[in-house]
Chains A and B, each alone.
Chain A
């Protein structure tokens, strides 16, 4: 059938079974918006800022295994989307972002609302396209979804000039696509997997360390089976929380800058480290030289060869899809006669229990002041540990990661790589669309929430029952913590002055606002929000301890075992 480019764009989205598109209209995408209007299969969610459109699509993708889709206009629409795209890129989130472009003939002439979108986004996308012919729209869209969702996932931008959306051609959606230049490896090398299993069985002080890759590839089940089977200790990074049930005895928590003593010490002192879908980030292993100074064998499973031996030299690299490789490992273990060295393992666990006994997550309660950690613990209780929790960036993010014990994957959405303040609310929106049946909590700070506060309006329009858990310390808390610890308590520009009255603000947007000032009111307020106002958006403004700090802490550039504990101060 002959169709316009705009119609083809929408038909492609339908073919890809896209349910929600988050977007914002403008001149260059008017043809596409007109086609959206004429159908009802693809639902468009009008956000209040393009950054939030991309974050919301990203939140939907993180909470499902689907590709998130955003649609924005040229020029400022595209530049506003860049933070969202870069955020998704750093965490390998599959997105297709469609950007309008000025008509082909105007490109390069500084036309109204023109910008070089392909050029601007090139360093922060997995790939991008400028469509130059209406005949290329269908195959380009197919490629975009294919590239975004296969291999190491990531955002793909499709930039379409306005005249191309008006031009006509025959529509034919390719069911499959072959690209000679893009063929991600799936199957891990069997010889390498065998070597890895041998090494694991010989280990005296083994440790499993997993990251976002396990979540993205939906390998939590295989990981849990393998870990239980081996009886080894395991930690999940900030991006990997939920891959292994936090309540399990083999779980040591999160490693890294704000990781637990037991996770960091076990990482540092292990003799065989099995890294899965993780990338030895500076926030996880601290100083790489210090980390490397300890002799240990490293096995690294990752779909992206460039993640392997990038920051830390690896002994047994395995390139492949995580669930496939883990299944192979389980099969080999079944066939294998020998078992892990039980005596050595028992000694190792004894050592680990010694670190655990430090109870590094303990914090002191204060009379009449709400401790932020306490709010998260209560949040866990009230939601039965079953909510989808999003966060912004700062101390509250770390507390949410440390104290909300995630039992399942895709329940914890945060910007780990780019560390983008402002993602919390839009992530919650994306998750709310994908999971209308689940409780959604956005843990945020009074500073972060203001970076996308306008989305309270979107939440109203679509009646999203998001619960905003604002840990309001009247500071850029994480900045203040660094200033206290490393800059002689000179609090340069880290106090949030002239804060709005968040209760009134929530009400102005048509939501419910509740201020909580006393520890004894925390639980009741959460209950009110999640039970009484189950179907509404509630803004809970918790006035928390202003000087609470996140511990343990490994200062930037320091070794992983060099932790500052709450009790040291």
Chain B
């Protein structure tokens, strides 16, 4: 099953490689990984999308907690949460495709943020599934480049991950 794990860790050199190294050393999946400092610059917040059985997930959580730089770990997918991912997608936009692409972007609540006479760059935010759906919806032959940030997640309401 797919899980979204949120990690609060020391913003130290090497902390990222400890987490990434743990996943590769123990053969856990990483679908995506995002990390950046928080409002407190001594802390980083990381979101990892992974998959595995309940037993594997339990081990992932325990192993992450064992890392000396890791302060807190939560499996966001255990309760109400929000996930968002940003995608920048460059598409060919000529002739009748120009209008069509603009309409698709609107339907998906995307924004066209760069325009040339033959291309658009569309910015799209949403769940991973929504971004996938956009890619499915447009003509694959028109896609020139895609860049995705990977998923960031946060708990709903009172679920707060803090030191």
| Chain A residues packing against B (C-beta within 8 Å) | 118-119, 122-123, 126-127, 130, 147, 179-182, 304-306, 309-310, 313
Contact = CB atoms under 8 A, between A and B. Distances in A.
A130 B59 contact: no
A287 B58 CA distance: 21
A135 to B, nearest CB: 16
Interface in B2-48: 9-10, 13-14, 17-18, 21, 25
17 contacts: A122-B14, A127-B68, A130-B13, A130-B14, A147-B68, A181-B9, A181-B68, A181-B69, A181-B71, A182-B68, A305-B62, A305-B66, A306-B62, A306-B63, A306-B66, A309-B58, A310-B59
A123 B21 contact: yes
Q: Which of A119, A180, A181 has most chain B Cβ within 10 Å?
A: A181
Contacts of A179: 68
B33 to A, nearest CB: 17
Interface of B: 9-10, 13-14, 17-18, 21, 25, 55, 58-59, 62-63, 65-66, 68-71, 163
Given A147-B68, A306-B65, A306-B66, 9 more contacts: A118-B14, A123-B25, A126-B68, A130-B13, A179-B68, A180-B163, A305-B66, A309-B58, A313-B55
Nearest to B70: A181
Contact of B17 (A122, A180, A181): A122
A465 B66 CA distance: 40
Nearest 3 interchain pairs by C-beta = A306-B62, A127-B68, A181-B71
B18 A122 contact: yes
Contacts of B66: 304-306
Contacts of A126: 68
A97 B25 CA distance: 22
Nearest to A182: B68
A309 B59 CA distance: 8
A295 B47 CA distance: 39
Contacts of A123: 21, 25
Nearest to B71: A181
A122 B24 CA distance: 12
B43 to A, nearest CB: 9
B69 to A, nearest CB: 6
Contacts of B9: 181
A181 B66 CA distance: 9
